[in-house]
Structure 1
Amino acid sequence: MDVDIEGIIQCIKQGDENGVQMQLQQFNKEYAQCFFFDAEEKERRRQRKLEEFKKNKVRDYTDSDSDNEERELENRSLILRENLAVVLVRFIRTGVKRRLLRVSLRSLRILTRDKKILGHFVSDAALLTLAKLAGLVTSVASDESSDTDFYDSVIASLTEAKVLQGRSDEDEGEAEAIDHNEEIPAINEDSNSDISNINSEDPDSNSWFRSHRGGSHQKALERGRKDRRESKMDGEEEEEEE
């Protein structure tokens, strides 16, 4: 079951604590034993598979459409996790109920497994927030940005990620359509060229065909003339005999 990370962010923005708790519990359950692998790690794994294929001489490994789609999906998932990490830190800083705090901290612990988003946990605001929860500091400097501006920037980031993914899908569709359209004229040109080759490859063939038909017709006429001459000679011989 796919976890709706964007839905979690929307619930936090709207202040729906029950919805946040339910969706964070689902997130924690889904990724409890999961380690996030970025595109670089997947590329290293792909290279290892390629080397194994070449070593075993099984077959060459090439990128497929599914590989490209997997990379695009991973990029969007990374953006969602980055924004969830930032939103959760700010959400915890505002002061939440104990039961919701435990769920949120567990989600943060799961997110720290992704090295790509660790930078969001080492900012001054994030470190002071976590230090206060640990009892190391007593106060945390307030964030200058308002909640409206903060969540607007987060939603804008998610929207931009969707737009980029939609554009990449459209570009792939247009490229496939162009390739398909280029193949059809090529087939028609090949068939037309074959027909033209038949007609123009040997120009003497058509004239031979016409002359051959005319020659056979002429021979038929010649046989008719010969037959008439033979019948005339036969008639003269019969008159002489009488």
Structure 2
Amino acid sequence: MMLLRKPSALLSIVFLAVVVVAMIAPQLLTQRDPLEVDLSVALHAPSLDHLFGTDQTGRDVYTRVIYGAQASIGVGLIATGTALIAGLVFGTLIGLAPRWLDAILMRAVDLLLAVPEFVLALIIVAVLGPGPVNIAFAVTLSVVPVYIRLARVHTRSLRQAEFVTSARLLGIGSVRVLSRHVMPTVLARLSVLATIGVGTAILSAAGLSFLGLGVTEPAPEWGLMLSGGRNELATAWWIAVFPGLAITAVVIATSVLGRHLRRLTEEGAA
């Protein structure tokens, strides 16, 4: 596979595989309890016994980073997957709509695109209230306009494609052409964007949790851990640095993998 021949892509895949293990079976990577409090070892620096040190209540930071992957990345995956499906459906329908309706709907989409994703998500959470479910919903609504626009562009170009025209000439119905030919092609192109978008969604969700709008203590979550360690940077930097590095690494890995997939897709289409 061409993707595995790229060192950066291979490294990203390996790292993301470890992250998936942390999400599904964190006990394979650590034997400690992320909620276990031990004041006798509070604010201990990184060591062999506590690889990432301990926080203000003596909880193991490494263990909390491992268990925090489920909450932090889960929101990003749910938001991206939902936005992908919604963008595919609405973008395809808009692309097939009459020009006057297409113009009206796309102006509404452009209005949402004019607002930065994080700001839009923050506004939605401010209206709906804090909580992990509302964060996932807010992040979904903030990123879905991008998928709608891309799906609409590809749909309008595919309407004139030779294989679509041939299918119609053979007497295949519009619904079947849409479901068997147009939507699968659009979905393949949106999936590449979604790979990159996962990192953005994770970053937005972590930012909202950092502001105290997501899960609450003592649940392990990377954004919340960053927030809890921001006042200890001078004396216990590890509390905030390691969850911050986890967020950064996941965002970079998904972005690198997504860009390689996009390049392969473009080369295949050329």
TM-score (normalised: structure 1): 0.30
Structure with higher Rg: it is: 1
- Structure number with the higher helix fraction is 1
TM-score (normalised: structure 2): 0.28
